[in-house]
Structure 1
């Protein structure tokens, strides 16, 4: 594993963890402060509420993602062979997956401490199974778990852009899978809101 590959993988896992925590804690505070409950009392549909929160948090996530990429590429001088803006798009899509997962899991937590306890279950396995180690010669069951991790596809896309200089046509499948994960998490979040207000 090259130094650039290791750095890009760690940045994916670390950035996703930060987004997960920020999104989850923020959404949890909305619930504990009663803001979400008052919003659910309005005629708004669950889909509108979820997408509203998602877009609001996404603005902050975008700023964070841009700063992280600027630091990695321009300050740390990590090798970047591919298109800079395609790299940014992949990072934003990855952050969106982490954001939607954080919002989903925050629906099942009652306190911030409980939400933090989700990290070993939701984030740490993804980092170990898809970001830090070469799993080429791993057993079949490890490969199956690896393919169920969103970070697997994010790390693959980022490596192909930064190290191999690939374009959209070579990484489109990774992007589709990441978008699929995000959509599933958002839909599950809508269903989770049924415990707050039946529709």
Structure 2
């Protein structure tokens, strides 16, 4: 009565390696999805980041006042300062000379301050670090900041030019749209320099401290106080390496000539190149972690 099960018992179930129920997913299955780390920036992410920055700026009433109100108020104050100052017939009025300079200087100074402080605030609050964990690339992030602040700069230049040209009687020999364009380019330059300097600051106060280092020397050597031709040779070399010198020269060319001169076109191109280089350097210095 002893029972010994056979090794080849028909009750033994051995799944076949070729069973039709077996499913082996293919590595080349059309359902497989591998996100690319170098995928291009989607317009939705770019527009969302730009919109967030613009909403943040609009919510800061002090920044809005500094961007829009302060330049127009200062230009109006200068108009009344120079109202009774005599000048030779056939020469530009003192207000014209001063207003032309202010339309180029204000966008550079104000956008440098606003950008450097805002960017440093993003770093300290951790917002920048959270954004950098998304697929948004560094250069794309800087493009969003540059676009948002450029829109703010365009609004600033528009309001300042409207007040100067149509309310205060400011006149130039060239096309007023060239003055408007140069003002926007100067503002974009201020944005690029502000983004770059914010990478080397740990607090908002340190970001402001870069202004005497980056902006003030340009204002002193660009020809506002002393003509560049009268500077010592070694200061002329330093002045030639500063973008504000070319921005002011371009504005003066527009103010004195009815057509766009070759010198003005060259100077505008140089300022644009400075702005692009500053934006690229700012993108390269963006850390993955907030210090």
Do Structure 1 and Structure 2 share a fold, with TM-score over 0.5?
Answer: yes
TM (norm. structure 1) is 0.90
Alignment map for 1:92-131 (pairs within 5 Å): 92-131=184-223
Work out whether 1:151 is the aligned partner of 2:244: yes
User: C-alpha distance in 2, partners of 1:15/1:58?
Assistant: 10
Kindly tell me the number of residue pairs found equivalent between the two proteins: 196
Q: Deviations over 1:155-196 (max 9, x none)?
A: 111111123233164521111101110111011111101x33
The structure-2 alpha-carbon separation of the partners of 1:158 and 1:47, relative to structure 1 and needing over 3 Å to count, comes to: same
The structure-2 alpha-carbon separation of the partners of 1:63 and 1:187, relative to structure 1 and needing over 3 Å to count, comes to: same
Q: Cα offset for 1:72?
A: 2.5
Match of 2:284 among 188, 191, 194: 191
Equivalent position of 2:172 in the other structure: 80
User: C-alpha distance in 2, partners of 1:152/1:22?
Assistant: 22
Structure 2 unpaired stretches of 5+: 1-90
Structure 1 unpaired stretches of 5+: none
Check whether the contact 1:19–1:99 (CA below 8 A) recurs between aligned residues.
Answer: yes
User: C-alpha distance in 1, partners of 2:223/2:143?
Assistant: 29
Structure with the larger helix share: 1
With a CA cutoff of 8 Å and minimum separation of 6, indicate the structure with the bigger relative contact order.
1
TM (norm. structure 2) is 0.63
RMSD: 1.9
Which structure has the larger Rg? 2
Match of 1:136 among 215, 229, 233: 229
Alignment map for 1:5-16 (pairs within 5 Å): 5-16=97-108
